[in-house]
């Protein structure tokens, strides 16, 4: 599993280029199955989740080549509509492969993803939407069997603006007969990136980034070459790393508007921030201010994927903060680890609301990552803690960060992965 060894106290100072977005490459790799031609994708993050998605593509018959940060996929000869159970259990977002395979082959068998570290992670919105498009879905021994004589466009209203459900519907509707309208759609930038990729492939989709996405069915797609968007959560993570070490950073190759909710909260804590066309500069204050209330929301609200990292910041800020997680019931598994480092955090009975009283400093010790963003927040805690911190289960962090230890070391941190 690997572990990070961190000696706290160094400032994060310098410049860093941000890689492509994990939550963009996964749905885009799932969408190439729609295309019988070649798909070339640039700016691909070399993280473990990307390699799981590549394994799934290969297991259904795609030819996949990875050259540096470019992936070339030929999905002409797909010969298997069954997504293997292993990868789906390992990465529950593999459910995103359902829509594309069903959309092209009108048949797909996929393991029920089940929960993960973040909680139950139900897929009822996905299943209901596929049925509304005309699919029959049955569950046999933990597998979903989906079939459709044909898929017919229809109006689908999501009870909650689910990112994955919005994406699965977009994929399943590309070849559907007529028009599919998704209302209460998720508005994340990764949805816009998926729309842009699909349209570059010859699909006909509009409205991504708003709460209404309209997909008009097409007959054929064509070869595509595309560069995916930068990872807003990695950028946000490094901005927080700088803020808690009294540092100064320029994060490059980002789309600043994607981080509006994050940078505005960092300004509230006293950080000095300047945004440029595709970079953000941050200088930390001597002492961070608490944020009376931080609540996570679907985009463009403050992202759930930045909640744990901000908890690191607030645990050493001057004053009391309330953090309310509203998306995932299992988001707060890292709090018990923080408390081992001397953080003063009370998690209320609902498991979603935490009261944080800032302390002067955290103390290094051995802690355990229990999920991707919680693990990242513990690495950040090690950067600002006194003494040495060991963060175990590094593989959780490697799911979403390409060598976080190399990036942070380049920026002045004393960190190794062993």
Instruction: Tell me which of 135, 163, 316, 362 binds ligand EPZ, using CB under 6 A.
Output: 163
135 counts as binding ligand EPZ under rule CB under 6 A: no
Instruction: Tell me which of 328, 338, 396, 401 binds ligand EPZ, using CB under 6 A.
Output: 328
Shortest distance in whole angstroms from residue 99 CB to ligand EPZ: 12
Coil, strand or helix at 22: helix
Give the side-chain half-sphere CA count within 13 A for 411.
28
Count interface residues toward ligand EPZ (CB under 6 A).
24
124 counts as binding ligand EPZ under rule CB under 6 A: yes
DSSP per residue, 28-94 = HHHHGGG-SSEEEEES---SHHHHHHHHHHHHTT-EEEEETTEEEEE-TT----EE-HHHHHH-GGG
Shortest distance in whole angstroms from residue 113 CB to ligand EPZ: 9
| Close Cβ partners of 114 (under 8 Å, ≥ 6 residues apart) | 89, 92, 121, 142
Per the annotation, the verdict on 384 as an active-site residue is: no
The interface region with ligand EPZ, picked from 20-28, 39-47, 173-181, 248-256 by CB under 6 A, is 20-28
Query: Under rule CB under 6 A, which residues in 337-366 are in contact with ligand EPZ?
Result: none
Nearer to ligand EPZ, 45 or 217 (CB): 45
Query: Under rule CB under 6 A, which residues in 26-65 are in contact with ligand EPZ?
Result: 26
| Close Cβ partners of 350 (under 8 Å, ≥ 6 residues apart) | none
Q: For Cα atoms 75, 78, 81, give the angle at the middle one, nearest 5 degrees.
A: 125
Q: Exposed, middle or buried: residue 349 (CB in 10 Å: 0-12, 13-18, 19+)?
A: exposed
Shortest distance in whole angstroms from residue 52 CB to ligand EPZ: 11
| Close Cβ partners of 128 (under 8 Å, ≥ 6 residues apart) | none
Instruction: Tell me which of 30, 235, 316, 327 binds ligand EPZ, using CB under 6 A.
Output: 327
Alpha-carbon distances, residue 400 vs 232, 233, 361 (angstroms): 12, 9, 27
Shortest distance in whole angstroms from residue 23 CB to ligand EPZ: 3
Q: Which of 19, 62, 116, 146 is catalytic?
A: 116
Shortest distance in whole angstroms from residue 399 CB to ligand EPZ: 8
102 counts as binding ligand EPZ under rule CB under 6 A: no
Q: How far apart (Å, rounded) are the C-alpha atoms in residues 304 and 297? A: 7
Q: How many residues does the chain have?
A: 418
- Active-site residues, by number, are 116
Residues that bind ligand EPZ (CB under 6 A): 22-23, 26, 93, 118, 121-126, 160, 162-165, 186, 304-305, 327-328, 372-373, 400
């Amino acid at each position: 599993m690997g572990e990070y060894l961190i000696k706290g106290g160094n400032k994060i100072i310098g410049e860093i280029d941000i890689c492509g977005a994990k939550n963009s490459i996964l749905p885009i790799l799932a969408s190439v199955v729609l295309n019988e031609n070649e798909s070339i994708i640039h700016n691909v993050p070399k993280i473990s989740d990307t390699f799981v998605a590549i394994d799934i593509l290969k297991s259904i018959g795609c030819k996949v080549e990875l050259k540096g940060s470019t992936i070339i996929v030929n999905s002409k000869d797909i010969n298997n509509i069954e997504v293997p159970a292993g990868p789906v259990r390992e990465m529950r977002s593999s459910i995103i492969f359902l829509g594309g395979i069903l959309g092209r082959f009108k048949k797909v068998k996929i393991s029920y993803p089940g929960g993960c570290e973040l909680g139950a992670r139900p897929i009822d919105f996905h299943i209901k939407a596929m049925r509304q498009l005309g699919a029959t879905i049955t569950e046999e021994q933990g597998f979903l069997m989906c079939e459709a004589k044909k898929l017919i466009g229809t109006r689908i209203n999501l009870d909650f603006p689910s990112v994955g459900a919005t994406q699965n519907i977009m994929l399943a509707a590309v070849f559907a007969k007529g028009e599919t309208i998704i209302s209460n759609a998720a508005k994340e930038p990764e949805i816009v990136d998926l729309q842009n990729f699909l349209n570059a492939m010859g699909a006909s989709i509009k409205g991504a980034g708003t709460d209404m996405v309209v997909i008009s069915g097409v007959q054929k797609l064509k070869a595509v070459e595309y560069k995916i968007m930068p990872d807003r959560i990695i950028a946000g993570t490094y901005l927080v790393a700088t803020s808690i070490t009294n540092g100064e950073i320029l994060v490059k190759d980002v789309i600043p508007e994607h981080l509006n909710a994050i940078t505005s909260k960092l300004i509230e804590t006293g950080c000095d921030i300047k945004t440029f066309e595709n970079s953000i500069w941050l200088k930390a204050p001597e002492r961070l201010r608490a944020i009376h209330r931080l609540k996570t929301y679907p985009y463009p609200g403050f992202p759930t994927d930045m909640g744990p990292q901000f908890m690191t910041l607030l645990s050493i800020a001057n004053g009391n903060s309330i953090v309310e997680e509203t998306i995932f019931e299992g988001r707060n598994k890292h709090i018990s680890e923080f408390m081992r480092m001397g953080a003063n955090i009370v998690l209320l009975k609902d498991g979603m609301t935490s009261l944080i009283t800032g302390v002067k400093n955290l103390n290094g010790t051995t802690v355990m990552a229990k999920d991707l963003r919680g693990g990242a927040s513990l690495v950040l805690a090690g950067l600002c803690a006194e003494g040495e911190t060991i963060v175990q289960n590094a593989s959780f962090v490697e799911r979403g960060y390409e060598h976080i230890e190399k990036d942070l070391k380049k920026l002045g941190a004393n960190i190794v992965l062993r």
